[in-house]
Amino acid sequence: MSRATGHLHEVRMPGESKTYRRARDRLLLAERNLRRDVEKVAALRRKLPKGGRVPEDYVFEEMSGRSDTGKIRQVRLSQLFGRHDSLIAYSFMYGPKAKNPCPMCTAMLDSLNGAASHISQRASLVVIAKSPIERILAFAKGRGWSGLRILSSANNSYNSDYFGEDDSGNQMPVLNVFRRSGDEIRHFYHSELLYVPGGNGMHPRHVDMIWPLWNALDLTPEGRGSDWYPQIRY
């Protein structure tokens, strides 16, 4: 806070009023506190103790080479880490009985695809869905998801073990992080905010931190709205 002006900084927008500046300063204080809280939460997350050992070295299916000419191959969970010790795994809601993939997952993955090459400098990233690999890749190709490593969990219990589906087989939009230490693989993090009631009809927002869509809309006067959701096509 500047002692001379009583404001947080000296930058001013063209034509702004004193009323606007006072309100903007109040918002700036809240934003600064949020910035601190975001880092505080991230620090708490990083300090989580060891999670449970992965019960098995799950075998997934992926397509080798180009998705339209490659061959299906099997790949184990332990092989997904590559040169990193952290693995981010998003469960894409596209089960074998679903006519179409989840529009919300699709919108999020549209953005994640663009960030994938940057994420891969620090951690490995995969997208897992329950449908056959050919079906998932056909949709991914149409979306232009060239940066995402796509896997099928159609023939293993990964989805049910790590809550990518419920007891009835309904697919769930969750994110898991796994940690490798030597030959040992343990679970590190799950987007469990999905299960915590938000109150007042608030969406769980359990993966909002990696989803630019909502963060961008929250900057506008209209906000994200209470009844608008992304669609696969507009």
What was the pLDDT predicted at 200?
A: 76
Antiparallel, parallel or unpaired: β 124-129 and 150-152: parallel
Q: pTM score > 0.95 for this model? A: no
What's the pLDDT tens digit per position in 191-205?
999 999 877 767 889
pLDDT at 188 over 90: yes
| CATH (residue range 59-192) | 3.40.30.10
All structural domains of the chain with their residue ranges? 59-192
By mean pLDDT, which of 18-27, 35-44, 66-75, 169-178 is the weakest?
Answer: 66-75
d(CA 115, CA 181): 26
Helix, strand, coil percentages for the chain (3-state, nearest 5) = 35, 20, 50
pLDDT at 25 over 60: yes
Reported confidence tier of residue 104, pLDDT bands at 50, 70, 90: very high
